[in-house]
Amino acid sequence: MTSHRRSGLVYAISAYVLWGFLPIYFIALAPANAFEIVAWRVVFSLVFCAILLTATRRWLSFGALVRNRRIVLTMGVAGALIYVNWQTYVYAAVNGNVVEAALGYFINPIVTVFLGVLVQRERLRPAQWVAVGVSIVAVIVLAVGYGSLPWVALVLAFSFGLYGLIKKRVGKQVDAVGGLTLETMWLTPVAIVQLIVVASTVGLTFGTISVWHTVLLAGLGVITAVPLLFFAAASRRLPLIYMGFIQYFAPFIQFLVGVVILHEAMPPERWIGFGIVWLALVILTVDAVVAARSGAESVALRRRGASAERAALAREDLR
């Protein structure tokens, strides 16, 4: 393995491990509620992004993004989706639903495939259809187990899946820091209103509990931006198939945090539901590996064919 790819693995694993332990960070912010946490997360993410843009001298390139109306509007939609995702995830973390949040990120790859069919009219391979069908069975089993639809998991999976589709529209035009800056710029007015409402009702905890608590709230910007930067660095260095495997680190760690550390309930029907989800992910992953190998073999065959053709032409020229 090249050093370039090794560093990519380090970045990818670091990103997903940090995302995996996020519930513990949010729980440590008690007695702040989910609305205050998300509001400060938006504000301090914007502050941290401004510091990064200054440190890396990238305000000019960011200015070019701001002048592109299509990108600004697209990132506004992305910001709305990530706001829904953040609010739901933090609510789940501070209200004892970490296992269900983990479920949302386990089924996210399947939801992404499903959205590809609905939104982008993509054609699925048979194994992908099987994975989607199995995941639907899993949701039904879990709904029976929970006594209702696992709405936290579904909101997380669909909001992040749609967020990924929106981000694809801007592709490589928007880097990680520029994208997060634009998203948080859109969300900052919402965050300010949210802080005003919290202050006038239950009261803000920022600066009133302890120095450590205030530092942790201020650190929300760092804990939001750093994994994104690691993820962006990993994406540039690793093939998609590697990223596909490593993406399961975060929900697996979240699942362990919920079950082992927080002792959330896992009745038999919930284990069965998670088992079916994991089966769907195995089918999806195996299919992705097979498709990647087939694609690589096709490329190699085309290259060999092109080389043979060039060699034949060269021989003809010699004659």
Contact call for residues 189 and 78 (beta carbons, < 8 A)? no
**pLDDT at residue 44 above 70?**
yes
What gap in Å lies between CA 163 and CA 85, rounded to an integer?
Answer: 9
**pLDDT at residue 300 above 70?**
no
Most confident listed range (12-21, 86-95, 119-128):
86-95
What gap in Å lies between CA 13 and CA 181, rounded to an integer?
Answer: 24
**Total Cβ atoms within 10 A of residue 178:** 22
**Average pLDDT of 11-31?**
91
pLDDT range class, residue 73, cuts 50, 70, 90: very high
Q: pLDDT (tens digit, 9 = 90+) per residue, 109-167?
A: 888 777 877 776 777 778 878 887 888 888 888 887 777 788 999 999 999 888 888 87
Q: pLDDT (tens digit, 9 = 90+) per residue, 49-71?
A: 999 999 988 898 899 889 999 99
What is the enclosing helix (H) or strand (E) of 291? Answer: helix 268-318
| Side-chain-side CA neighbours of residue 287 (13 Å) | 18
User: Residue holding tokens 């890396």?
Assistant: 56
pLDDT range class, residue 313, cuts 50, 70, 90: very low
The structure's pTM equals 0.84
**pLDDT at residue 108 above 60?**
yes
| Side-chain-side CA neighbours of residue 73 (13 Å) | 3
| Side-chain-side CA neighbours of residue 6 (13 Å) | 3
What gap in Å lies between CA 24 and CA 254, rounded to an integer?
Answer: 9
Q: pLDDT (tens digit, 9 = 90+) per residue, 203-253?
A: 999 988 999 999 999 999 999 989 888 887 887 777 766 666 778 888 999
What gap in Å lies between CA 42 and CA 220, rounded to an integer?
Answer: 8
Residue 164 pLDDT: 83
Domain ranges of the chain: 3-318
Q: Structure tokens of 58?
A: 């990238």
**pLDDT at residue 302 above 80?**
no
Q: Structure tokens of 229?
A: 């930067």
Which class for 302: exposed (0-12), middle (13-18), buried (19 or more C-beta within 10 A)? exposed
Helix (H, G, I), strand (E, B) or coil at 180: helix
Q: Structure tokens of 100?
A: 């269900």
Residue 155 pLDDT: 93
What gap in Å lies between CA 296 and CA 140, rounded to an integer?
Answer: 37
Q: Structure tokens of 61?
A: 């390139």
Q: Structure tokens of 223?
A: 């804990």
Residue 311 pLDDT: 45
What gap in Å lies between CA 164 and CA 175, rounded to an integer?
Answer: 14
User: At what angle are helices 268-318 and 126-146 packed, to 10 degrees?
Assistant: 170
| Cβ-proximal residues to 185 (8 Å cutoff; 6+ apart), any chain | 46, 79
What gap in Å lies between CA 174 and CA 182, rounded to an integer?
Answer: 10
Contact call for residues 246 and 13 (beta carbons, < 8 A)? yes
Q: pLDDT (tens digit, 9 = 90+) per residue, 274-291?
A: 888 888 888 877 887 777
| Of 234, 260, 229, nearest in space to 245 by CA | 234
**Average pLDDT of 287-308?**
61
CA Rg, the chain, in Å?
Answer: 22
Residue 303 pLDDT: 56
Please state, for a pLDDT cut of 70, what percent of the chain lies above it: 89
**For all residues of the chain together, what is the average pLDDT?**
84
